Structure 1
Amino acid sequence: MTKPATISPSIIETLYEDALLLADEARATFDFDDGFTSSAAGASAARVALSCEALRTTTRMMHAIAWLLNQRAFLAGDMSEFQLRHHGRLPPAQPAPDPLELAMLPPYIADLVDRSVSFYARIERLDRAWRTRFELQPAAVHRLRQRLGYAFAS
């Protein structure tokens, strides 16, 4: 059987700092100033695409930060493992960005969206690895049934 995944405080702290920087960059980037003020034919669709990606990106980052804050609370002893397993679940990822909508956005915004998707995928992998240590493996279930069968047969 494989060894359970551990998440060290240094990993969580580094990811937390990265998440804050990325979220701050997203906030600054999506602060609608003058990016799409033209009245060109595709400007309206581009504004809608920008709004959609802004919402998805900020939601993605806030979910990641919330998950990291729960991990920090657990590692600091402010939250039990039981509480973390039941209340510290990472929400499902936001829908993947639409390539056609991304193409309407400036490259630096498309890059920011891609980096937020990659960051969230890293957090998902950590969460999945950590949670697998709580899942019963089929071999363990079969051994338990076997032991119960022996106990009641004698």
Structure 2
Amino acid sequence: MPHTATISPSIIETLYEDALVLADEARAAFDLGESVGGLGEDASMMRMAMSCEALRTTTRMMHAIAWLLNQKAYFSGEMTEFQLRHHGRLPPAQAAPEAAQMRLLPHYVADLVERSVAFYARVERLDKAWRASFALQPAAVHRLRERLGCAFAG
């Protein structure tokens, strides 16, 4: 049986702090007032790429932060396991950043986008492993049906 990830308050707190730092970096990096100047077509394409990746990165980080806040609420007793399982879902990951747009971004912004994708993948792995521990395995369902069939057959 594969070992599933254990989520603890200390892991959630560390990830939450990392998420806040990354979100703040994203806010600063995507401040279009200072990031992109000029009026040419290249500057226009760069602004468009920055806008698209700013929206994706911000959304990605806000979803991760919301998931982490739900976990923190659960560990502090403000949310039950039932509530967490039903209302604390992490949305599916967004599509990967477009390579053409990533090439238009300054290196530090492209790096930030890639770090946000990697961070979301870490949180997604924890969420999937935690949810998998609640999923009924097909073999268990079949055994239960057999036992019920035997109990009512005789």
Q: Does 1:46 align with 2:63?
A: no
Q: Give the alignment's Cα RMSD to 1 decimal.
A: 1.1
Counterpart CA distance in 2 for 1:145 and 1:48 is 57
Residue number in structure 2 paired with 1:84:
84
Whether the aligned pair in 2 keeps the contact of 1:60 and 1:116 (CA below 8 Å) is yes
Residue number in structure 2 paired with 1:30:
30
Could you tell me which runs of 5 or more consecutive residues in structure 1 were left unpaired when the two chains were aligned.
Answer: none
Whether the aligned pair in 1 keeps the contact of 2:32 and 2:47 (CA below 8 Å) is no
Please list, as runs of the form range in 1=range in 2, the aligned pairs for 1:1-150 lying within 5 A after superposition: 1-2=1-2, 5-150=5-150
Aligned residue pairs: how many?
154
SS of the residue 1:95 aligns to: coil
Whether the aligned pair in 1 keeps the contact of 2:29 and 2:35 (CA below 8 Å) is no
Letter in 1 for 2:39: S
Structure 1 stretches (4+) deviating beyond 6 angstroms? none
Counterpart CA distance in 2 for 1:73 and 1:51 is 32
Q: CA deviation at 1:2?
A: 4.5
Could you tell me which runs of 5 or more consecutive residues in structure 2 were left unpaired when the two chains were aligned.
Answer: none
Letter in 2 for 1:110: A
Whether the aligned pair in 2 keeps the contact of 1:67 and 1:90 (CA below 8 Å) is yes
